Chains A and B, each alone.
Chain A
């Protein structure tokens, strides 16, 4: 039997996104509402002053949520349906399976990303260069969250534990840190704690690129360096620690 990468990736997208979206359209409402709910709160509380920051926060949260959903979905399919056991004993490689599942999460995010893109077009008017920076930040955020999600899914043994992890990580990395507003709004002693989350760097880079936050050039280079380093380290941990064949 031949190994067909694209077909195997597409199979994962069908199982984890397209069939679910087609058969349960209500799940789409949640994927759109989650990043938009914070955006609305920030926009109303700031009387529109922070709407640009909040839209960028919505993008970052959408990308970060992908990894957390990946964690829950992988765990659900592995523990409750034994799907992963069936796929392990097939020509599909772990890389192909995870790539497919990760893309499925991205497909899930498309409705939210579409709404955010329209809002960004209206309220931020990014230039091509700024848009490129936003896309780069989102891509790094996506890879970081996928790496976290895959590693956690490897160690989670049931769906309750998996959802608990997912909620905890989401709160720590996307609700508590200054993703929807500038980091400068956080008083100084606490601001250092915010920098423990990779989402803070993503938000700072995005806000600086579109002029919502004033940062020195060195600072921006440092933020990019941290973001890339975190992505690389978490990806390496995921590759090293993740288990395909159990031990």
Chain B
């Protein structure tokens, strides 16, 4: 049971001194342990707590989880040989070089000094840090420091890697570069990635888990998540116009435009009407943003809902 899968059943976490507030509230999920699982959610939704429990760093209060058949509590010792983690707010140690950082991490993972040295050089070359491999980490840019940490995961070659907000604070170019490495790692490994960037989840993830108030409120591929919405099409009008009767929801935006969420038939009918009236508009499947806001029932500032 659970072989080749990540399974959580009734997984609950209540931190000490939290007045009984559940950081994780009876999480139930079962997803294939391959590709990229991206966890999205607002601050405090429980993403990091879930990752830390799955990565054997934190004990659950009740319930359990298995990763490829190994229990994260009972089989932690076995699991730790197969997992690697880049925690949230992890930093490359300033008094070390990228080569030293990756090398020592690999030695902790059980590689010999010689193997570690070779794998570190290969991984740093793959992330484009060959020239900087002997420069102190403190002299590297923010993007390069992140790449050093990603190189540790690349070099570790662990079956399962956890990356908690790995691209937070990076510029768009560095972020896209890291996506490329993550995509590369995920070809033959399982990555569990948390992110605040919905675009990142949309671009990278095979499965997306939406978390809110300690619960996984939606999980599946983007198509499956869209499928669970009543309205799966989004029409955007750059300026507010008199709208005809339709089935769906219209929300004004701060830019003076309007977003209409509706079904396929209505999207087609409204598009015809806007075309006939010469009204500018765009029509798309709903984005992950729309899916996310639907699941977390959040106030949508931009959409004014």
Q: Which residues of A contact B (CB under 8 A)?
A: 1-4, 7-8, 10-12, 14-15, 19-20, 23-24, 77, 80-83, 85-92, 97, 245-247
Contacts and interface: CB of A to CB of B under 8 A. Distances in A.
A64 B109 CA distance: 31
A89 B56 contact: yes
A3 B89 contact: no
A98 to B, nearest CB: 13
Given A4-B112, A19-B100, A89 B83 contact: yes
A247 B15 CA distance: 8
Interface string B92-120: 11011000100111011111110000000
Nearest to A77: B93
A245 B58 contact: yes
Nearest to A8: B108
A245 B54 CA distance: 11
> 9 closest A-B pairs (Cβ-Cβ)?
A11-B107, A82-B90, A82-B87, A89-B85, A85-B87, A1-B110, A11-B104, A1-B81, A89-B55
A80 B136 CA distance: 17
B91 A2 contact: no
A41 B95 CA distance: 34
B171 interface: no
B84 interface: yes
Given A7-B113, A11-B104, A245-B59, 16 more contacts: A2-B110, A7-B112, A11-B108, A15-B96, A77-B93, A80-B91, A83-B90, A85-B57, A86-B87, A86-B90, A86-B105, A88-B80, A89-B84, A246-B52, A246-B58, A247-B16
Nearest to B55: A89
A14 B109 CA distance: 15
Contact of A89 (B57, B91, B92): B57
A118 B145 CA distance: 43
Contact of A91 (B85, B86, B91, B110): B110
B95 A245 contact: no
Interface of B: 16, 52, 55-59, 76, 80-93, 95-96, 100, 103-105, 107-113, 136, 152, 162
Nearest to A88: B57
8 contacts: A4-B112, A85-B55, A85-B85, A86-B85, A89-B83, A89-B162, A90-B108, A91-B110
Contacts of B103: 14
A50 to B, nearest CB: 38
A90 B80 contact: yes
B248 to A, nearest CB: 45
B95 A7 contact: no
Contacts of A8: 107-108, 110
B110 A4 contact: yes
Given A2-B110, A89-B80, A23 B95 contact: yes
B93 A15 contact: yes
A9 to B, nearest CB: 9
Contacts of B84: 86, 89-90
Contact of B90 (A11, A12, A15, A81): A81
Tell me which of A77, A88, A89, A245 has the highest count of chain B C-beta atoms within 10 A of its own C-beta. Answer: A89
